[in-house]
Structure 1
Amino acid sequence: MDTALYVGLAHKAALKRRMDVVAHNIANMSTTAFNKERVVFRQLLMDAPGAEATVGGKISYVQDYGIIRNLNPGTMIPSSNPLDVFIKGRGYIPVQNKEGETLYTRNGRMMIDNNRNLTLLSGELVLDDSGQPILFDDDDFDVHISDDGTISTNNGDKGKIGLAQFSNEQDMKRRGSSLYETTQAPVAQDNMTDIALRSKAYEGSNVNSIEAMTEMIDVMRAYEKASQTESSYDDLRKDALKRLSQVR
Structure 2
Amino acid sequence: LPVQDGEAWQHVLDTASAEPVLSEISVGGALLAERVTAEAARPFAVESETPLRAVLFTAEPDPVEPETERPETADAEFADAEAGAPVRQTLLLVLHHIAADEWSLPPLLDDLAAAYAARLGGVAPHLPHLPVDHIDLTLWQREVVAAHEDVDAEYWRTRMSGAPEQLTLPWARPRPARTGGPARTHDFGIDAELHQRVRALARRTRTTTFMVLHAAFAATLSQLGCGDDLVIGTPVAGRDDVALRDSVGFLINT
Q: By percentage of residues, which structure has more helix?
A: 2
With the length of structure 1 as denominator, give the TM-score of the two structures: 0.21
Structure scoring higher RCO (CA < 8 A, sep ≥ 6) equals 1
Higher fraction of strand:
1
State the TM-score, normalizing by the size of structure 2: 0.21
